[in-house]
Structure 1
Amino acid sequence: MQLPRVSGTVSAHLARSLVGATTSRTKNRLARLPDLTTEVLADDLARISTPSLIRVWESLVLTEPRTTIGTRILEEAPIGTFGTWDYLITTGPCLRESLTQAVNLIAAIGDPAAEKLIVEEDGRHFTVRHATGTWGPDVVQAVDIFALSLFLTRARAATGLNIIPSRVTITHQAPRQVRPMARFFGADQLHFDAPYNSISFREEDVRRPLPKAQPGMDRILAHHAELLLASSRSVLQWHDRFRMMLTTAFKQQNVTLEYVAARLSMSPRTIQRRLAGHGTTWSAEVEAVRHERTMDLLHTTDAPFTSIARQVGYSDVRALRRAVLRWEGRTPREVRMAAASRASP
C-alpha cells in the first residue's frame, strides 16, 4: 500500500503516548513545537512530523539512557491507546492474522518511511523483524525495544495470556539494567548483539483463536484504518518538515543532502527541486539552520566556543567568529553577553 501522504509523520496517538511519559518541564518545552501543542495532540487525525517525535525520544532517553523506558510506557498503555491499530490486533480470528494485519497497517501509528517491519514464518515460529531510521544510537535503541515491546504487549492483551516469546533478538548491547527486560521478555529468550531486531512467537500461540474475535470485524477495522489514513493530515508543511530534519542532521553531525533526503524518503534531486520551488537552495537552507542553531547554542548554553563550532560544522573558533560577525555584526562572546544581560533581572 503506497502512503506518500503520511510518510515522514506518525499518528497523534503515538506522539501523545510518548509525550505523556515525559516530565512536566519537558512537556512544556515540547509544546513549543508547532505540531506538539496540546490542541494538535488531541486531534486523532493529525499527523506529527517524525523529526518532532525524535525530539520526544531524545528527551526520554536523555533522562534514562540505555534503559527499557519504551517497555515501561507500553505496560501502562491499555488497548485503545493507539486507536484503531490496537483493535486490529485484538479482534482478528487468531494472533497470526491480527499481527500480520497490524504489520501491514503500521502507518496507522508510525512512519512507514522510517519503520521497516517484516513477517517471517517457518511452520514452527511466527516472527516480526523491525528496523528504524538512523537516528542517534540511544534513540535507535529505544525505538527498537519499544517496537518489539509493542507487539508483545498487544499479543498478550489479544490472547489474555502471559505469552512468552520463543526468541527475541536485539542488535544493541545489553543495557546496564537488563533484569527488567529479562522479566518482560523472558530471560532465556533474550539475545543481544544480534544481526537484526525480532520477536518470535510459537506457532501454537499465534494459531489459537482470540477470545474477542468477531467474524469480519478485522476486515471492517482494516478498512476503517485505511479511511483514517486517507483523512489524516500532516500538521507541518513539507518545508517545515525539511527544516526540522535538517536541524536533526546538525544534531547528528551528518549534514549531507543524502542523509536528509533518505530521512524524508526522497531522492536528493527531488529535495533540490522542491527547495527551488520554495525559492531557496540546499546551501541557503544549511546556512539558515546553521545560523539558527548557533544562536540557540550561544543564547541557551554555556558550551565552549570550540564545542559550538564543532556542533554547527565549523573547523575552528575563527570560522565560527567570522560567521557570527557576518550574521549578527557581533562576535560570539558579545552575542552571549547580550543574551545574559537580557536574562538578568
Structure 2
Amino acid sequence: MQSSPINGTVSAHLARSLVGAMTGADTGRLARLPDLAAEVLDNDLSRISTPSLVTVWENLVLMEPRTLIGPLVLEDSPIGTFGIWDYLITTGPTLRDSLTQAVDLIAALGDPAAEKLIVEDDGPHFTVRHATGSWGPDVVQAVDLFALSLFLTRARAATGRHVIPSRVTITHRPPPRARQLAGFFGTDRIHFDAPYNSISFGEDDVRAPLPKAQPGMDRLLAHHAELVLAASRPVRQWSDRFRTVLTAAFQEDNVSLENVAHRLATSPRTLQRRLAENGTTWRAQVESVRHEHTMELLRSTDLPLQSIAGRVGYSDVRTLRRAVRRWEGQAPREVRAGALS
C-alpha cells in the first residue's frame, strides 16, 4: 500500500503556533527552511515537513532549556489555534466521543507517521497514550509533554471546567521543575520513568454532555477535516530545494559547494551536514545532477562533446566519455543515436 502523501508532515496551524512561540529568540536556523516561510505558514492547506518542525522544537528547547516548554506553548493557544482539530474536541456529544474522534483524526494536526496515539476506555478511566518519533531526547520530552498538555487543555475547554486528570504517566525522568508540571496538571498523580506516556480522565468527566455540543456537528466537522486533508499539499522538502539550486548552478556553470550553500542561505559546513542527515554527500549529489544534465544535453541537443564536457564541469572529452560509459554502459554517440531512433 502506498503511504499517505501527508506522512512526514504536520499542519500549518501547529507549525505556526510553535514558530510564534519563538518571538524574541534567535531564529537564524529557521531561515534555511523553505516550508517555514511566512507565506507558507499563513496558508492553512500547507503541510510542513516534520524535520522542519523538529528544528523548531530544537530552537524552543535551546531558548528555554530549563523550562517546561511544551506546556508553556499552550498557555497562549486558545481553542481555534490548531484549526479544525481543536473544534473536533469541543463539539462532540461527550468528551469521550470528542477525544476519540480527535485521536482518529490526529493527521489534521500532526504527523500521522510520527505521532502514535492509542485510546483506552476501561470504564472508570478514559486514557490517551502518546509516543513520538526518535528525535533528540530533549525534543522528545518537549513533544511528549506538549501532547499530554494539549489533551488536557482541550478537555478543559470542551467541558468548561478545570478538569483534573485521574492519572498521568511520563516515560522521562522528573524534570527540574516537576512541581511546576504538577501545578499545570493540577495533580501530584504524575508517574515518571513510566513505560508509556498517557493522560487519564475520570468517568464523570468523559461521559457528561459537553456544553457546546450540537447534534451532528461532530460528524460534519470530521467530514470537513477529511476534505481539508485531501486538499492539503506538502511543501517541498529541503532535499528538493537543494536539487533545484544545484541544477541551476550547473546550468549557469557555477557549481561549487560555496555557491550552492550561499544560495541556500547557509554555510558550506552546514550544507554538508544537512546532506549527511539526508543520507547523501555533496560529491554524490554533484555526480547525480551531472549525470542528469549530461544525458539531457546528449539527447536533446547537437552540441559538440567538448561543449557538453565544459557545461557539466569536465576538463576534456575523454573524461566525459568515461563518465557516460560508467553511467549508461554506452559511448556518448550511442546515447545520441538511441535518442534519435
Q: Counterpart in 2 of 1:234?
A: 234
Q: For residue 59 of structure 1, what is the amino acid of its counterpart?
A: N
Residues 118-197 of structure 1 aligned to structure 2 (within 5 Å)? 118-197=118-197
Distance 1:294-1:237 versus aligned 2 partners, 3 A rule: closer
The answer to whether the Cα contact below 8 Å between 1:119 and 1:129 also exists between their aligned partners in 2 is yes
Q: Which has the larger radius of gyration?
A: 2
The answer to whether the Cα contact below 8 Å between 1:31 and 1:38 also exists between their aligned partners in 2 is no
Deviations 1:93-114 (A, max 9, x none): 0000000000000000100000
Deviations 1:188-245 (A, max 9, x none): 22111101000000011000100000000000000000000000000115953999xx
Distance 2:207 2:113 in 1: 30
Q: Counterpart in 1 of 2:19?
A: 19
Distance 1:298 1:139 in 2: 22
Shift of 1:76: 1.2
Distance 2:223 2:103 in 1: 15
Distance 1:39-1:294 versus aligned 2 partners, 3 A rule: closer
Deviations 1:265-314 (A, max 9, x none): xxxxxxxxxxxxxxxxxxxxxxx99xx99833599xxxxxxxx9xxx79x
Distance 1:65 1:129 in 2: 25
The answer on 1:93 being equivalent to 2:93 is yes
Q: Counterpart in 1 of 2:213?
A: 213
Distance 1:29 1:172 in 2: 27
The answer to whether the Cα contact below 8 Å between 2:88 and 2:102 also exists between their aligned partners in 1 is yes
The answer to whether the Cα contact below 8 Å between 1:6 and 1:111 also exists between their aligned partners in 2 is yes
Percent of residue pairs identical:
72
Deviations 1:251-277 (A, max 9, x none): xxxxxxxxxxxxxxxxxxxxxxxxxxx
Secondary structure (helix, strand or coil) at the match of 2:36 reads: coil
The answer to whether the Cα contact below 8 Å between 1:91 and 1:210 also exists between their aligned partners in 2 is yes
The answer to whether the Cα contact below 8 Å between 1:94 and 1:210 also exists between their aligned partners in 2 is yes
The answer on 1:111 being equivalent to 2:111 is yes
The answer on 1:296 being equivalent to 2:269 is yes
Unaligned stretches of 5+ residues in structure 2: 244-259, 278-282, 284-341
Q: Aligned Cα RMSD in Å?
A: 2.9
Q: For residue 190 of structure 2, what is the amino acid of its counterpart?
A: L
Distance 1:239 1:55 in 2: 15
How high is the TM-score relative to the length of structure 1? Answer: 0.69
Distance 2:116 2:242 in 1: 21
The range that moved more, 65-74 or 153-162, is: 65-74
The answer to whether the Cα contact below 8 Å between 2:164 and 2:187 also exists between their aligned partners in 1 is no
The answer to whether the Cα contact below 8 Å between 2:88 and 2:218 also exists between their aligned partners in 1 is yes
Distance 1:211 1:100 in 2: 18
Distance 1:104-1:197 versus aligned 2 partners, 3 A rule: same
The answer to whether the Cα contact below 8 Å between 1:66 and 1:141 also exists between their aligned partners in 2 is no
Q: For residue 80 of structure 1, what is the amino acid of its counterpart?
A: G
How high is the TM-score relative to the length of structure 2? Answer: 0.70
The answer to whether the Cα contact below 8 Å between 1:67 and 1:142 also exists between their aligned partners in 2 is no
Count of residues in Structure 1 that have an aligned counterpart in Structure 2: 258
Q: Counterpart in 1 of 2:286?
A: none
Secondary structure (helix, strand or coil) at the match of 1:24 reads: coil
Distance 1:185 1:55 in 2: 27
The answer on 1:83 being equivalent to 2:56 is no
Distance 1:173-1:241 versus aligned 2 partners, 3 A rule: farther
Distance 2:104 2:3 in 1: 12
Residues 242-257 of structure 1 aligned to structure 2 (within 5 Å)? none
Deviations 1:135-165 (A, max 9, x none): 0000000000000000000000000000000
The answer to whether the Cα contact below 8 Å between 1:166 and 1:189 also exists between their aligned partners in 2 is yes
